[in-house]
Amino acid sequence: MLYLFPTPLSDNPWQESIPLEAVEVVKACNLFVVENLKTSRRFLRSMISDFDIDGSTFIELNEHTPDEEYIEIVQTIKDRNTVMLSEAGLPGIADPGGELVALCHDWDIPVKPITGPSSIVMALISSGLNGQQFTFHGYLPVDKRERQVFIKQMVRNIRETGYTQIFIETPYRNTVLFEDILHHAPVELRLCVAIDITGKNECIKTRSIGSWKSTSKPSMHKIPAVFCLGA
Amino acid sequence: MLYLFPTPLSDNPWQESIPLEAVEVVKACNLFVVENLKTSRRFLRSMISDFDIDGSTFIELNEHTPDEEYIEIVQTIKDRNTVMLSEAGLPGIADPGGELVALCHDWDIPVKPITGPSSIVMALISSGLNGQQFTFHGYLPVDKRERQVFIKQMVRNIRETGYTQIFIETPYRNTVLFEDILHHAPVELRLCVAIDITGKNECIKTRSIGSWKSTSKPSMHKIPAVFCLGA
């Protein structure tokens, strides 16, 4: 069994983000597939004060993992209960864990998700925009021209289908992206900016593009944020 | 402040789905906006054994709520800490709560999401399909012809963009939908069926359409399921 285990989105206590019973899953496992060794061990120790690091096996899986190692990892976890951890939030959304999960299905290794914080969904439900139908685009193009084309395509999607458009940016470029949207999206559409979800500086606001243009902008430079654009 | 509070997806103990610290939010509130009065009270009592029902105010908000009542509700919650509950999972995804959240933004009432189970995201991360880019369609059309057109459009989306296509169906029609997808999607695409997520009969399997056609199908009749289709 491969457990997909969440980690907190911000540096708040795990008790605010992870169900108490989920800790029992970790206690029953001694094999861990992690994106980063150091932060994962720190997280496990914060959750279980007497966590047995020396008696546990850690496998690092991240963007540096060569393709051929995936099969080795699958063979290792095949008959053992394994916990997969990502750096923030749920594993498998925006990290290389997804490929391992796909292999687990090929090998008939059961996969079990554990409840945890998803910044995408938490932004969406807090936005008040259409939550019945939506598209998540991940990172928008960095190139200014390509990004402009992309924003205009999202606006067309909203007008034709009503689907909420969700996207993210590398935190230090958040402010530039925000200005780009205000520039290229029509004034009547609504934009939600969900900043530092679950964190100390959490700020989630939905305004029309027109209204954003004439009010003060929330501080989002170098802070993780999720953007939702909708009708 | 309007807290968007989760409920379990299945009838398992809340400790498996909701962070311990979230309970403190409920303890500090005595105003609740709920989809169903009876089940919400039962849930709150299961979480807090001495929950003060008589000292709490409950407002029902569901598909029967007339438009003009929304403003009354906003006026009531404006200066009070309020907890919003849906019937299963996170509020605001597939229920009328989203409209109230939108009004809260108009009235500058802060909205705060609490971590809880999202069947859409839990299915996606467990599917091994593209988790970086995806579209959630909600319910597919019921009409057989329209549904066929819709499935073919999703197949085109996958081929052109690589986005994972996620959708749901009323549980008693799950088996028919499953057969429709096997019939209309090309054999090389992969289909994940995530049945009874977090429940006793949880079963999450990803297979190619071709492989699904030649293997036994998991039982999904009248059981909540999420479907993910991808490359």
Q: Report the alpha-carbon distance of residue B127 to residue A97 in Å, rounded.
A: 11
Element (H, E) at B168: strand B164-168
Contact criterion met (CB < 8 Å) for A137 and B133:
yes
Tokens, residue B219: 């039982």
Residue type, B97: G
ipTM: 0.96
Question: What's the pLDDT at B12?
Answer: 87
Average pLDDT, integer, range A220-230: 96
Given a cut of 80, whether residue A29 has pLDDT beyond it is yes
Question: What's the predicted TM-score (pTM) here?
Answer: 0.96
C-alpha to C-alpha distances, B93 to A14, A116, B14, nearest whole angstrom: 25, 16, 20
Element (H, E) at B190: strand B190-195
Query: How high does pLDDT run on average in chain B?
Result: 95
Given a cut of 90, whether residue B88 has pLDDT beyond it is no
Q: Report the alpha-carbon distance of residue A187 to residue A31 in Å, rounded.
A: 52
Which residues of A, range 21-40, sit inside 8 Å of B by Cβ?
21-22
Average pLDDT, integer, range B111-125: 96
Which residues of A, range 180-199, sit inside 8 Å of B by Cβ?
192, 197-198
Tokens, residue B68: 């003009």
Q: Report the alpha-carbon distance of residue B63 to residue B65 in Å, rounded.
A: 6
Provide, rounded to the nearest whole percent, the portion of chain A with pLDDT above 90: 93
Handedness of CA B169, B173, B178, B183 (dihedral sign): negative
Q: Report the alpha-carbon distance of residue B8 to residue B86 in Å, rounded.
A: 10
A116–chain B Cβ distance below 8 A for any pair? yes
Question: What's the pLDDT at B17?
Answer: 94
Partnered with residue A82 across adjacent β-strands are: A2, A31
Q: Report the alpha-carbon distance of residue A33 to residue A35 in Å, rounded.
A: 7
The values of phi and psi at residue B62, to 5°, are -155, -170
Question: What's the pLDDT at A187?
Answer: 98
Average pLDDT, integer, range B71-82: 95
Given a cut of 90, whether residue A93 has pLDDT beyond it is no
Question: What's the pLDDT at B124?
Answer: 98
Average pLDDT, integer, range A65-79: 94
A113 → closest Cβ in B92, B115, B126: B126
Preferred mutation among A4, A105, A119, A207 to probe B, highest tally of B CBs within 10 A: A105
Q: Quickly list DSSP for B98-112.
A: HHHHHHHHHTT--EE
